[in-house]
Amino acid sequence: MPHWPRGEEDASARPTERPRVVQIAVYLMYLGAALSAVSAVAVFGSRDRLANDAREMLRGQKQPLTPDKIDATVNTSLTLFVVFGALAVALWILMAVMNGKGKPWARTVATVLAVANVFNFVATGMSIVGLALLATGTVAAVLLWLPAARPWFATTRRLRV
């Protein structure tokens, strides 16, 4: 059903200047993208740990511990870390851009992702970088819902003919 303005207050436009709390949240999202990129690249420094984990996994599955099998498992793990790291970077940047533009759906998606990250942390634990990402996402999501940010995300519904 179309929404018709009922008065001066109802017809007012959204603020043109981004609120400070939204700007800080956007900066935090870009920081989250940078931390995700660092995390995806840093995994290459833990190749020995991944090889040990691969050996344990293969032993548990009663598979032969050949160097080729261990290398293949490590390479698959590294590839997955890089792919998911790249997706995380893209998602952080998308959320920063869309929240910066005041898209209400982006605020909701950013909040859902922050909550999912909290549950992931509780279930699995994380590294220092993971904890930094958790804090970054949580603070950004909270800032997006502060009263000062609400006008930025308010949409004016217009009847399109």
**100-140 pLDDT tens trace:** 999 999 999 999 999 998 988 888 777 888 899 999 999 99
Report percent pLDDT > 70 for the chain.
86
Element (H, E) at 58: helix 47-60
At what angle are helices 47-60 and 67-100 packed, to 10 degrees? 120
Decide: 129 and 28 in contact? Cβ < 8 Å.
Answer: no
Question: How much is the average pLDDT of 65-71?
Answer: 83
Could you tell me what percent of the chain has a pLDDT over 90? Answer: 49
Could you tell me if 13 and 154 are in contact, meaning their C-beta atoms sit under 8 angstroms apart?
A: no
Report the predicted TM-score, pTM, of the whole model to 2 decimal places. Answer: 0.79
Where in the chain are the domains? 20-153
* Side chain identity at residue 35, one-letter code: L
User: Tell me: the pLDDT tens digits for 82-94?
Assistant: 999 999 999 999 9
